[in-house]
Amino acid sequence: MSDKTLTQRDVTLSALAKMAERGLDYGSFFPMDFLKEIAGPWGDEDNFRYFIMGLTEILRERGFIFTSRELNNEGYRIPQQVENYHYTQHWHDSIDRSYDKIITVLSNMRRDQLTEIEQKRDENWLRLMRHERMMLRRASEAIELIRKTQPGLLKEDQEAVVVEGN
């Protein structure tokens, strides 16, 4: 197969094999030069970020985080297993910050150039985002209540059934 017919997925799977040869595990470090080399035609300035995005997604599906954080553009690493808690906690915290950004923008934007339907759409979206943020913030309380009253609801693939009188 020539470089011109290789898809991003082909290159990514080949790259994973080369990374495995080098030692693909928790704590692994991959220098930028190596990553650009194994990216093949996807290693150029315009496409490298897409290669990294695809690689990151596949590694995440295998239980790895792939990050360049605090590496000064020298490469990427797979954090130790013990670090995954902190990375995922940061991702969770960013959910709340994202809601805050959405709510701030929609609450403070001018609406003078929107149609009545667009204004209504935005108001409904703002209300939904406020409710979701509130639910996120109260999630631990809700989980505790569900554990006490209907613990089965927290099981995988369990459908919620409304119980009369509760």
- Interval 94-149: pLDDT, tens: 999 999 999 999 999 999 999 999 999 999 999 999 999 999 989 888 888 888 88
Find, among 74, 79, 76, the residue nearest to 64 by Cα: 79
Q: What angle do CA 67, 71, 73 make, to 5 degrees?
A: 90
Q: Which residue has the higher pLDDT, 71 or 164?
A: 71
Burial state string for 140-166 with b = 16 or more CB within 10 A and e = fewer than 16: eeeeeeeeeeeeeeeeeeeeeeeeeee
User: In whole angstroms, how far apart are CA 55 and each of 9, 18, 65, 83, 100?
Assistant: 9, 12, 10, 19, 30
Which pLDDT belongs to residue 157? 59
151 band by pLDDT with thresholds 50, 70 and 90: confident
- What's the pLDDT band for 158 if we cut at 50, 70, 90? low
Residue-wise pLDDT for 73-107, tens only, equals: 899 999 999 999 999 999 988 999 999 999 999 99
Which residue type, as a one-letter code, is found at position 70? E
Residues 4-59 have pLDDT tens digits of 566 888 889 999 999 999 999 999 999 999 999 999 888 888 889 999 999 999 99
